[in-house]
Structure 1
Amino acid sequence: MTQSISLKVPAELAHPLFFPEKETILEKEHYAGWSVSIPFEAFPYELLYYNDVESYTPWTKGAFHVKELMEKWKGIDTECSLLFSERKVGRTLGLMKQGIGLFLTAVFWMHGKPVVLSDFRLQIKSLNHIPVNLAERLSFILERPASFHSYRQLSELFREFEKQYVKFMIKNKNKKTSKL
């Protein structure tokens, strides 16, 4: 039987798009390890981590999980594209929220850090392998998450980030082999 626990939304994750309430509920057992089949919830591992609840810390193996996060985005991207083409904009917010969450997770985890939403513009400045003008572009997306222009921008950010990820993996693979 899974145990639901109530968690305070920590200052690091306080953002009205993802956490309109001050508390949230998680199934703790789902996050003891990693599984691609876990349904999307906004930053569950970080919620547990910032609340000092023992769980898996995927950012410690972040680059390994980034590929899976980008695969999840491809499904969301397809759904969003279809909804926008059918002019069903009202049904895109949930998907866009998932996509934005996946993107932020991928960026932070690739750098070996848990996601921090509070003052994310400052946090992003400390990261190396990111798309150009990321802070400004993310601000635009977060201000109007269900708009078509935000969707296009997020899609483009994922494309650019994937290139950064590939470079990062090649560079780090070469570092490992040169140490042998």
Structure 2
Amino acid sequence: MSDTVFNIPIELRDPFFFSGDRVKIDETHFEPCEPFFAYELLYYNGRGADSLPWQVQGAWVKDILMEWKKEEEHLNVLFKGRSKGISESMRKSIARFYVLLYWSNKHPVRLENWQSSIGHFSLKPVNVIERLTFIRNNPALYHSFIQLSQLFEEQHKQYAKHQALNQWANK
């Protein structure tokens, strides 16, 4: 394991996701959301990979949605049992939604002034800024979980529709 410590770049500084100003990443093995926004942390620190996922449309959508489905089931159990750990699990899921939203619009996640950048996206759920703000402000509420589930579903539909139209136009 070769952990490297990186500064959290200004583009990703957000106390909702990062409590400090540094994060460890094992550059030989990491996931898009483990640690949060791993590809972006490397990219903004000048260590971007050869193939940046937001530039290559494809399999990553399926992977993100598959991870979300697992987390959604876990969150369902947590909420039914009124268990601890809901906020941390929701934070992880919210980060995953940011990745899906930004990458499906061919951009790296940028938390600095995120409302403005999302406002310019062509693929996004209706009222996504207001809904995401509510979810971030109330991550432990069951209604936030329901909203987040709906955002994932709506973004997936937007992306699938976009991909289908592009395939049809390229025939």
Do the structures match in fold with TM over 0.5?
yes
What amino acid maps onto 2:67 in structure 1?
K
Alignment TM-score, normalising by the size of structure 2 = 0.92
The Cα shift of 1:63 comes to 4.3
What amino acid maps onto 1:160 in structure 2?
E
Query: Equivalent residue for 1:80?
Result: 75
Matched, 1:13 2:12: yes
* Contact 1:4-1:27 at 8 Å conserved across structures: yes
* Contact 1:43-1:105 at 8 Å conserved across structures: yes
The number of equivalent residue pairs is 170
Q: 2:147 is matched with which residue: 147, 153, 156? A: 153
Q: What is the CA–CA distance in structure 1 between the aligned matches of 2:126 and 2:48, rounded to whole Å?
A: 35
* Contact 2:39-2:48 at 8 Å conserved across structures: no
Percent identity of equivalent pairs: 32
What amino acid maps onto 2:73 in structure 1?
T
Closer/same/farther in 2, CA of residues 62 and 17 from structure 1, 3 Å limit: farther
The Cα shift of 1:39 comes to 7.3
* Contact 2:33-2:95 at 8 Å conserved across structures: no
The Cα shift of 1:62 comes to 3.8
Give the gaps of 5 or more residues in structure 1.
Answer: none
Alignment TM-score, normalising by the size of structure 1 = 0.88
Q: What is the CA–CA distance in structure 1 between the aligned matches of 2:110 and 2:33, rounded to whole Å?
A: 21
The Cα shift of 1:144 comes to 1.8
What secondary structure, in the 3-state scheme, does the structure 1 residue paired with 2:129 have? helix
What amino acid maps onto 1:168 in structure 2?
H
* Within-5 A mapping of 1:1-180: 2-31=1-30, 40-55=34-49, 56-88=51-83, 90-177=84-171
Give the gaps of 5 or more residues in structure 2.
Answer: none
What secondary structure, in the 3-state scheme, does the structure 2 residue paired with 1:145 have? coil
Q: After TM superposition, where is structure 1 displaced by more than 4 Å over at least 4 residues in a row?
A: none
Q: What is the CA–CA distance in structure 1 between the aligned matches of 2:54 and 2:69, rounded to whole Å?
A: 21
What secondary structure, in the 3-state scheme, does the structure 2 residue paired with 1:45 have? helix
* Contact 2:68-2:93 at 8 Å conserved across structures: yes
* Contact 2:91-2:139 at 8 Å conserved across structures: yes
Q: What is the CA–CA distance in structure 1 between the aligned matches of 2:167 and 2:160, rounded to whole Å?
A: 10
What amino acid maps onto 2:128 in structure 1?
L
Q: What is the CA–CA distance in structure 1 between the aligned matches of 2:89 and 2:170, rounded to whole Å?
A: 37
What secondary structure, in the 3-state scheme, does the structure 2 residue paired with 1:26 have? strand
Closer/same/farther in 2, CA of residues 132 and 54 from structure 1, 3 Å limit: closer
